[in-house]
Structures are given as structure tokens and as C-alpha cells.
Amino acid sequence: MRPTWPRQPIERWMRNASAQLQWLGQSSLAVTLSRTLRTPDTSYITSLRSGWFDYAAEELQASSWWAAWGVRRLGTGARWLGLDRLVLVGNWPVSTNVWNAASGDALSQACTLALAQSPNCFVAVRNLQASKHAELMATLRGLGFVALPARVVYEFDLRQGLARKPSHLTRDHTARKRSGLKVSVIQHATPQTSRRLAALYTRIYLDKHSQLNAQYTPEFFEDMLNEKVMRALLLTHSNGSTMAFAMLYQVGDTLTVPALGYATDTEIDGLYRLLFSAIHDYTQTHALLLNYSSGAGDFKRKRGGVPQLEYTMVCAPSKKANGWRAQLLRWLEKRTQGIDAAALMALGA
């Protein structure tokens, strides 16, 4: 696999991007530039307002409608603030972008260019961890960025093997072996396979969870596999039907899972658990660090996942008239400095 994506309009891959996909700097880092007209279901991957306010309001709606209403009002304020005029640097259309030492300089240079070329826009970088990206975050601070806590992600570091196998993981491995499902990894997809993966993804991410997730098209899966950007791990029934899948995106020794899905009209129990068992096996076999993104925190902790706090770094529009917006961001950073992974986990992360 190679972390070099084909150059295609983002609409080919995502129905709800409300953004343009551009390439910036000598290393051609991906940049998403928000469009003037924004749809109500714009994905959190390309919109900070969707991630910070719309998504949060959806999650609060069932337990506290008044809190959800308050968060939506804050989102209206963010729109007035101009947060929809947004440049996300290094932002491929996936939930987790991976930054290493080799990409840090290119990212900071691209941010400098973005600030100069889009003086009326907020500029931001997602998926930063203080423990891994301290130098990069310090460089971005020097450019005027502030760090705001975004989410808790869970990591499984299997680069040195597995020291202890949690009991839940052992049960998952046993259940998968008894299920009779075949595990395979593919690097090429026909249009039929891509449509099946898109349908399974839609059942889980969109129908079950939220339309604010990336609304991936069959072409996304087809291009990612056929252009060797990602692989796909499949769980296949004896009749040949794909019952579950996970996209595998590797950058250096870090593995992420940008998309997964499984059948909901089957008598096979616990397909999500069986799929994770196969992903864990793949990670261990290849001695990788699995960043398994956010969500399902209790499930991941019981299987050995280590929580890590992830930040989004944001810079206010660089035009002088926007100085008050920069002051507001610095105030927000100070108010959120006490938030750590444990605090977000207590809220259900």
C-alpha cells in the first residue's frame, strides 16, 4: 500500500463533503476547502461545525433534548463566527489521518501556504496527539494555531507482539474460528464487490449511526483498492457472500480502519466482534500499531485498547480584521486545557 491517493474530485468518493479537494505544497498534501453552499448532512470529516456541534447534538438528542438544543444554538453561533469558511490541511476524506516525522515539515509548510492563500478562512489540522506530535504542534503554535481537544481514539500497539490477551479478545477469536467464516485480504475490487462494500458500510455508519459520517460511494472503495491505497479484509460465508469487511489503510507502521461494515440481515451473531478479531490478528501478524479511531470505547478498552486524546489545531483567519476571532480561539484553548482522555471517557467516549 502507498499513502498516495489518486487525484479525483471528492464528490466521486463522498456524497456529503460540501468541499473541494485540492493539493497544496511541494509534497502535494490533501486540503479540503469548504464550499459556500453547505448541506445539512455535511460530514464531520470536512466540517468542524458538523463534528463539534451537529454530531454532538445528535448524540445528546436521545438523553437530553435541551442539551442538544443548546449545542445546536452554539453551532449557529459558530456559523456566524465564520467557521464554515474552512481549510483543513492534510485532510484526506477519512476519519483518521496519520502524521509521522517525515510528514511534519510538509504539513507545517502547507499550513503556511494555506494561511497566506486563504486569509478569510479558518485553517485547521485534525488528528494530532500531544505524545506523538509535540514538535509539529509547537511549530503550528508558532504560526498562530491553538489546540482544542477533539476526541478519544483507541490504539492497539502490536509492534512488539501481544504481551497479554484480554479475555474478551480470546472469546472473540474463539467465536470467529467457530463461525466458519473465511478471512481474506483483497487488493483489487470489481464494481460488484465495491457496491457490496458500500452497501454494508451504509447499513452501519449511515443507517444505524449518523448521516454526518462520510457518505462513501462504491467508487471510493473501488478506487482505494484498485489504486493500492488500501486493502480490504473480508469475512466471507461458505456460500461466497461477504458478511463483513474492514478497509485497511497503512501509513508507516500505523494501521487505521477508515471504513467497515457488516450484514444486519443474518443469523450470525456478533459480526462486529468477529470482524475486530480478524483486524487484530492482521495487526499482530504484521507487527503494526492499530489506531482504531473513536467510538465504542467500552468495547475497545475491554480488548486492550489504550485511550489517546486527539486534538484539532485551529488558526483564525489571518486577515487583520479577524483579530478578535484569534482571541476567542485562545480563550477557548485556555478553557479546555483541563480536558483529558479520562474526562471525555467519563462522558462516554
Q: Chain-wide mean pLDDT for the chain?
A: 94
d(C-alpha 342, C-alpha 306), whole Å:
11
Q: Are 309 and 344 in contact (CB under 8 A)?
A: yes
Q: Given 1.10.510.10, 1.10.3720.10, 1.10.1660.10, 3.40.630.30, which CATH number is that of 156-302?
A: 3.40.630.30
Q: Per-residue pLDDT averaged across 223-252, rounded? A: 96
Phi first, then psi, for residue 49 (nearest 5°) are -65, -40
d(C-alpha 231, C-alpha 249), whole Å:
7
Of the candidates 315, 312, 344, which has an alpha carbon nearest to the alpha carbon of residue 127? 312
Tell me which range, 25-29, 77-81, 172-176, is most confidently predicted by mean pLDDT: 172-176
The backbone region for 209, taken as left when phi is positive above 0, alpha when psi lies in -120 to 50, beta otherwise, is alpha
3-state helix, strand, coil in the chain (%, to 5): 40, 20, 35
**What are 52-85's pLDDT values in tens digits?**
999 999 988 878 888 899 999 999 999 999 999 9
Q: Per-residue pLDDT averaged across 270-277, rounded? A: 97
Mean pLDDT lowest for which of 184-188, 263-267, 319-323, 325-329? Answer: 319-323
DSSP element (H, E) containing 172: helix 167-179
pTM of the model: 0.95
> In 3-state terms, what secondary structure has residue 115?
helix
The residue ranking higher by pLDDT, 63 or 263, is 263
Q: Where are the domains of the chain?
A: 10-152+309-346, 156-302
Q: What percent of the chain has pLDDT over 70?
A: 99
Of the pLDDT bands very low, low, confident and very high (cuts 50, 70, 90), residue 164 is confident
Residue 102, pLDDT > 80, answer: no
Of the pLDDT bands very low, low, confident and very high (cuts 50, 70, 90), residue 3 is low
Neighbouring residues of 236: CB distance < 8 A, sequence distance ≥ 6: 181, 182, 183, 184, 242, 243
Burial category of 124 from C-beta neighbours within 10 Å (exposed 0-12, middle 13-18, buried 19 and up):
buried
For residue 1, what pLDDT is reported?
47
